[in-house]
Amino acid sequence: MADTPAVANLAIAPPATVVAETVGTTRDYWRAIWGNTGGKVAIAFLSLLILLALLASVIAAHSPSELLGPELTSRPPSWAYPFGTDVLSRDVLTRMLYGTRISLRIALLAATLSGVVGLLWGATAGYLGGAIDALLMRSVDMFLAIPRVLLVLTVVSLWPDLSPDGLVLVLGLTGWFGVSRLARAQALGIRHREFVSAAHALGVSRYRVLVRHVVPHALGPVLVATTIGVGHVLVLEAGLSFLGLGVRPPTPTWGSIIADGSESYQVTWWLTVFPGMALIGTSLAVNAIAHRLRVVIHPRQLPGR
Amino acid sequence: MTVPPSARGATPLLSVRNLATHFPVRTGLFGRPKAVVRAVDGVSLDVYPGETLGIVGESGCGKTTLGRSILRLIEPTAGTIEFDGVDFRALRGAALRGMRRHLQIIFQDPFSSLNPRLTVGTTIKEGLLVHRIAEGAAADARVAKLLDEVGMQPAYASRYPHEFSGGQRQRIGIARALAVEPKLIVCDEPVSALDVSVQAQVINLLKDLQKSRGLAYLFIAHDLSVVEHMADRVAVMYLGRVMELASAGDLYREPLMPYTQALPSAVPTPDPERKRMRIVLSGDPPSPANPPSGCVFHPRCHHPARDASCSVIAPPLEEKAAQHWCACFKQPPTVVPWDAQKGAGGTHPPERHLPVQALHQRG
Amino acid sequence: MTAPTAPSPLLRVEHLRTYFHTRSGIARAVDDVSFDVYPGETIGVVGESGSGKSVTALSLLRLIDPPGRIEAGSRIIFEGRDLLTAPEEDVRRIRGNRISMVFQEPMTALNPVFTVGDQVAEVARVHDRASRKAAWERAVEMLSLVGIPSPRERALQYPHEMSGGMRQRVLIAMALVMRPALLIADEPTTALDVTIQAQILELLADLQQKFGTAIVLITHDLGVVAEVASRALVMYGGQVVERAPVRELFANPKHPYTQGLLRAMPRVGQGLDRLVTIPGTVPAPTAWPTGCRFRDRCPLAFDRCATEAPMLPDGAHGARCHLAEAGTPVAFADRA
């Protein structure tokens, strides 16, 4: 009833609560990313990477495991081989193109898997509450007590002949615990909102309320967490491949290319620098996008919406 | 507990008997319930088809919990709810969800009651789809008609809630409730968040809809003048109990409970000429976690016959005049015999106490 | 009680304009508001959401944050000096001392981590440099004055241990520690139940008698104004649309908006089937209508209302309406 001093509350069409309450449509998210220089650069960079990865077989002059011959081992970058060659005389540019395909695919799929599982798990726990909530969240606490790297290393070293899809499963299913907590907090926040009561009063089933009202509400923060998760998985996968525990050779990934040059990195610097740059660039781009997405969810925390 | 019988000989649409909703208060390390909040504590009432039963009371009296318990949005602890001849508390699963379309609710807060992510049309349509009342183009036509019925343009169906003012959002909430063609609507403070000029629009709309659709309302409010305007009969609640129940006219003309007498005298009226004797109740309402013994109102009571027995005997809700029910054994006639009162430490026999005529004299 | 005969007002507000410079345009929340407050009187400021009544209250203490701004040409003269040109330091000294404020929400206005006694004593320590012990004694005395039973024990409690009514009493105690000349009460009873509201209104009237404090009471409730104020300002669209002694306002409302508001309120014993309504809603403060701001909701509007903005005439009872001079006809008829 009372008008309050903050400007947004002056009964200019959307009053007080609406400002904190972002609708968060797809268009809002897209506008937040694209309406910002950093966001544009990040999108452009990622689009380019994805395009190159998709067209790898068209662009690449060689096949990723093709040996070019003993005279072409460990060549520095040149016009013929822009990213040089490795100890086994394979073209590094070719391997980078195919490696991007594998690395990005693993990172995107694993992060998405984490996002979906975490979202459903947490939203269910928060919405149903009570004993189910306790059961679901205590099991999350248990897994969170074990460092993720340890968990991944254990599974991966016990899994003979790990395929890239297997790696997606391992990385995806170890990355959703934090996400589920976020989703649960969101679900708890709207569980007692009156529109949820209204849906119950209409005779809408619990499952439908969960899917139609609760899950969409938790989507925003989960989207941000998932985007940041892409960066994490990317680095984690590179680390595993570097240790020789990731995707099995000769399949190239950014991590395995770095590993190939690790014995002589002072000399064959190109084996470290190019995949390293790709890793850093992608992580930065993904984090920039996550940062922009957060603007939609918490419009007051960040300037320059 | 005695039960207010049928006011008009008709069969009630909703019959609530001895309804109780208690919440455990968990404290301590292992979350063991340490105390119980008796939000609703033995309420009995009937709502007849097409009538408005008003529920008034101050915050914390349990009126909101009562409304939600009747709809089983909060599961009651004890008591029975009979709706349209069906034992509503016995229903489970699909049968319960199917029955829900006949009992709807309108909320107080026009902001939290609509999902900000769904368009107005989607929100109104949800009930239609769930109960297979209409689908596709037929559902859209229904939505347009409902919007028109609550005084909004059908084109608003594609807009989002944040584009509307509080009064308009309240209309959308009403359209959502109407979509499933209910027989009873629980109106939980539907106008208390609105400005006066808009409040009158929504009150008129609710009255029009009641007439055109033959709806019954359980109208919950803290604003006595709004309830008097809306309701045929009014129940006054205090600390989870019904203290008085009568037709709106009787209740305001001749309130019997000392609490009911004090309430209207506390309401400021826009009439500076009217100088009244005002009963200012001292103190705050006690906590429902720790209600006073006997009559829950006795610590704040100003009845001239109040005595020690009031803190011992819990007064039954009894009929003092035709269709006028009141829970006070100091207000005659009463079924609590004087001997029993004396036995509980009573020193003042029941005595008719009606300061209300004095209150309403214009000066 | 009405004191227009008293020569000098305690507070004189002239052409107050508080605008919010937002991305969606300039919101003219308060637009040319002028009024006087005389010592010891209670003036009621009534309005709905968006009328500008709360922004007016905050402007009086210069508590407007960007993008809000009190525009040049506004004057707020309190005890002979213009608060808008005074240095911030001086205004800070006046706040809580000569002018104090009571807010609507008694929970958020109190700090949950200090006892209520500490919070009342703090005011005395800040403004009077009172010693810790003297300030505490003052606090206990104030708590007793505002009707808190066993104040010495209650002073040691934290806000969450008190009821809403008790917390509002604590806020009033804080506001009155320094015996201010002016108390601005912004919806002080809106969050409270009617029986508690009655207690608080009675308390305010009592304390006013005792201390001679002038009160500016901001409210949406015409009933509250009728009970406690001697004069009233009705606000709509950031402007004062009617100014009148309270009895006059209710007996003979001149502005169609005031007439509509009075008739739209349901009253006990009124016996009407339908309430009178004012059609439409308050327009956005970024886009007030031209001419009279109420015209698109007014049943009496005519050509001149769209082109020429009416002025608020001087005098005890005046309305910002082209029809008011001759006495406005009844704008909103009762329908039985």
Residue C48 has pLDDT above 80, yes or no: yes
Contact (CB<8Å) B127/A17: no
List of long-range contacts for B346-353, beta carbons under 8 Å, 24+ apart: B346/B307, B346/B308, B346/B309, B347/B307, B347/B308, B348/B304, B348/B305, B348/B306, B348/B307, B349/B305, B350/B305, B351/B303, B351/B304, B351/B305, B353/B258, B353/B303, B353/B304, B353/B305
Q: Closest approach of chain B CAs to the CA of A186, in angstroms? A: 14
Average pLDDT over residues A177-204: 91
Average pLDDT over residues C233-249: 93
Tens of pLDDT, residue by residue over C291-328, are 999 998 888 888 889 888 898 988 889 999 988 877 77
Residue C336 has pLDDT above 50, yes or no: no
Average pLDDT over residues C104-125: 84
pLDDT class for A2, splitting at 50, 70, 90?
very low
Tens of pLDDT, residue by residue over C135-178, are 899 899 889 888 888 888 888 988 888 888 888 889 988 888 88
Helix boundaries (H) for chain B? 63-70, 93-99, 120-130, 136-149, 166-179, 196-213, 224-230, 248-253, 258-266, 338-343, 356-360
Q: Which residue has the higher pLDDT, A215 or B33?
A: A215
The three-state secondary structure class of B45 is strand
Residue B275 has pLDDT above 60, yes or no: no
pLDDT score, position B130:
93
Residue C269 has pLDDT above 80, yes or no: no
Residue of B nearest to A17 (CA): B111
- Using alpha carbons, list the distances in angstroms from residue C36 to C73, C208, C218, C255: 17, 18, 15, 20
> Cis (ω within 30 of 0) for the bond into A216?
no
Separation CA C239–CA C47 (nearest Å): 10
Contact (CB<8Å) C220/B196: yes
Separation CA A42–CA B294 (nearest Å): 71
Average pLDDT over residues B230-249: 93
Considering only the C-alpha atoms of chain B, give the largest distance between any 2 of them, rounded to a whole number of Å. 72
C268 contacts in B (CB within 8 Å)? 224-225, 228, 252, 264, 267, 269
When scoring C30, C45, C49, C221 by the number of chain A Cβ atoms within 10 A, the one with the most, hence best to mutate, is C49
Residue B191 has pLDDT above 70, yes or no: yes
Average pLDDT over residues A202-210: 92
Neighbours of chain A (3+ CB pairs under 8 A): B, C
- Please, which residues have CB within 8 angstroms of residue C164's CB and are 6 or more apart in sequence? C106, C107, C191, C192, C193, C196
Separation CA C215–CA C44 (nearest Å): 8
Q: Does B152 touch chain C (CB under 8 A)?
A: no
pLDDT score, position A6:
32
- Please, which residues have CB within 8 angstroms of residue A268's CB and are 6 or more apart in sequence? A74, A76, A84, A86, A87, A261
Query: Regarding beta strands B324-326 and B241-247, do their DSSP bridges make them parallel or antiparallel, or are they unpaired?
Result: antiparallel
The three-state secondary structure class of A121 is helix
Among the partner residues A13, A23, A212, nearest to B116 by beta-carbon distance = A23
Average pLDDT over residues C92-100: 87
Tens of pLDDT, residue by residue over A29-40, are 788 888 788 888
Separation CA B276–CA B362 (nearest Å): 7
Classify burial at A161, counting beta carbons within 10 Å of its beta carbon; exposed 0-12, middle 13-18, buried 19 or more.
Answer: exposed
Residue C6 has pLDDT above 60, yes or no: no
pLDDT class for B173, splitting at 50, 70, 90?
very high
pTM over 0.80: yes
pLDDT score, position B27:
60
C102 contacts in A (CB within 8 Å)? none
Residue A302 has pLDDT above 50, yes or no: no
pLDDT class for A24, splitting at 50, 70, 90?
low
Q: Can you name the CATH fold of A17-63+82-301?
A: MetI-like fold (1.10.3720)
Contact (CB<8Å) A194/B109: yes
- Using alpha carbons, list the distances in angstroms from residue B254 to A289, B25, B222, B357, B360: 68, 39, 19, 8, 10
Residue B3 has pLDDT above 50, yes or no: no
Residue A21 has pLDDT above 60, yes or no: no
pLDDT score, position B308:
92
Residue C268 has pLDDT above 90, yes or no: no
pLDDT class for A303, splitting at 50, 70, 90?
very low
Q: Which residues 8-37 of A have a C-beta within 8 angstroms of C?
A: 8, 10-13, 15
3-state secondary structure C62-103: CCCCCCEEECCCCEEEECCEECCCCCHHHHHHHECCCEEEEC
Contact (CB<8Å) C220/B195: yes
Separation CA A149–CA A208 (nearest Å): 37
Average pLDDT over residues A33-56: 87
Separation CA C66–CA C55 (nearest Å): 13
Q: Which residues 95-154 of C have a C-beta within 8 angstroms of B?
A: none
CA C234 to chain centre: 10
Average pLDDT over residues C68-72: 90
Contact (CB<8Å) B225/C274: no
Average pLDDT over residues B102-111: 92
Structure tokens at A162: 């790990």
Average pLDDT over residues C229-253: 93
Averaged confidence pLDDT in chain B: 88
Average pLDDT over residues C12-34: 90
Residue of B nearest to C193 (CA): B58
Q: Does A304 touch chain C (CB under 8 A)?
A: no
Structure tokens at A65: 């495991």
B118 contacts in A (CB within 8 Å)? 212
Separation CA C215–CA C37 (nearest Å): 8
pLDDT score, position B69:
96
Counted across chains A and B, CB pairs separated by less than 8 A come out at 87
pLDDT class for A111, splitting at 50, 70, 90?
very high
